[in-house]
Structure 1
């Protein structure tokens, strides 16, 4: 296990997370830990069918960003995972794109718990495994964020997203702070906004019907 590159991706059952898992599995000697909220869902089950390169494999594990990574870390220990080289915090949540007046504060709090607090919990929980990566190898923590949370991009967005914007805005600068604070420990951190994707939750909103 020590010679393998071990990558953990949250929210890997669909969309961006799934594609990253599929791409990384095609690299040799790579263990991909793909986390899902519902392991019984057909998309979660089908992760095990993704093609893998020689010496590579996928481990599907349960992770709920609202509850923190304790159960996930216990499952990784049971699976014999002793280190992590890369953690990709991709899991996010927002089931509505509404204006400020239509937004339920409790729903905003739920989104904040997943999208803003979740990555902090994930880094804190995964650091012991990241710190055990082989000497000389990079330790990386990557946050997948959204342009909806961008202050500079507010004028470019054409749909209401009060909940998502507030919740996504908080973690966007976190990797930059992590990069400065943990550079001496060999940890690299970055955030990526991958543009406008046809997310299921976005496409279902009346103002965002795609052809």
Structure 2
């Protein structure tokens, strides 16, 4: 399959993706998915030490580029894309995965915490897409995938900054899709539901996990690799007529209404 994808590129070069927040979790799974298809991948992450270990573990120096930096800092973002351009000479896909969260009630969330969450989760994708779109246009077009969240589609307890930032990112996705279409750049979003990431394992108690299982029709957490598959689809030619959309990859979590877990249990009696 990798050969089929690469053969469609006029200059015979390998396609290039940049993934933010790529040192672990969904970002790393996504980077691995691109590499498996023969793409070259740039990994941008604020955790420089973890990023260095990740790149070493990937063990593919010709195809992998480490870009340490904060997506919320404009100078850092544009410098990173310049480095990518010099190294790989093109850009075909951008995955805005980097994110942060604060789990506090509204009345306890500080202005500083609010600003930081919105800076990373909303301003970061804005800046990265600004830097990416011209490079993609030069290569004949490309795709952007913004990682939002099910928390941007429905309100979640203790996630005022996080949920608001992800809801805004869903609208930014539509705005980017409309404006970048003329450049040959498609923009879509993935809204993951509960995913079995390292962070989820740290902060989700057994009781919380049980609650999620009850609320998710498929009755389980998603896998990082399942999110990566959806991302890769939206960056491939198979989604060539899809833009401006948010795809919930959530086991049916967003589709389920209040009381459905009880109805399912009653039905199975």
Distance in 2, Cα, partners of 1:104 & 1:115 = 17
Q: Distance in 1 between matches of 2:12 and 2:44?
A: 21
SS at match of 1:32: strand
The runs of at least 4 aligned residues of structure 1 exceeding 3 Å deviation read 198-205
Give the deviation of 1:187 after TM superposition: 1.0
Larger CA Rg, structure 1 vs 2: 2
Is the aligned partner of 1:209 residue 2:219?
A: no
Could you tell me how far apart the structure 2 residues matched to 1:168 and 1:185 are?
Answer: 25
Q: For the residues of structure 2 that align with 1:99 and 1:198, how far apart are their CA atoms?
A: 24
Whole-angstrom distance in 2 between the partners of 1:19 and 1:170: 25
Consecutive unaligned residues in structure 2, runs of 5 or more: 1-10, 210-269
Deviation (angstroms), 1:122: 0.7
Q: What does residue 44 of structure 2 align with? A: 35
Q: Which has the higher helix share?
A: 2
Matched, 1:125 2:131: yes
Q: TM-score, normalised by structure 1?
A: 0.82
For 1:46 and 1:114, locate their aligned partners in 2 and report how far apart those are by CA, in whole Å. 21
Provide structure 1 residue ranges, at least 5 long, that are not aligned to the other structure. Answer: none
Match of 2:110 among 104, 120, 144: 104
Report how many residues are paired: 195
Aligned to 2:21: 11
For residues 13-92 of structure 1, the aligned pairs below 5 Å read: 13-28=23-38, 30-41=39-50, 44-50=52-58, 57-68=63-74, 69-79=77-87, 81-92=88-99
Pairwise CA distance, 1:61? 1.2
Instruction: Flag the 1:185–1:73 CA change in 2: closer, same or farther, 3 A.
Output: closer
> Does the 8 Å CA contact 1:8/1:87 hold for their aligned counterparts?
yes
The match for 1:195 is 193
Q: Given the two structures, how large is their TM-score scaled by the length of structure 2?
A: 0.66
Q: Structure 2 CA distance, aligned partners of 1:163 and 1:173?
A: 16
CA drift at 1:26 = 0.9
Conserved? CA contact 2:24–2:54, under 8 Å: no
> Which digits, 9 at most, give the CA deviation of each residue in 1:154-177, with x for residues without a partner?
2xx4x3211211222211122222
> Is residue 10–residue 63 contact of structure 1 (8 Å, CA) maintained in 2?
no
Q: Secondary structure at the match of 2:108?
A: coil
Structure 1 residue 77 displacement after superposition: 4.0
Q: Given the alignment, which residue of 147, 150, 154 partners 1:147?
A: 150
Give the structure 1 partner of residue 159 of structure 2: 161
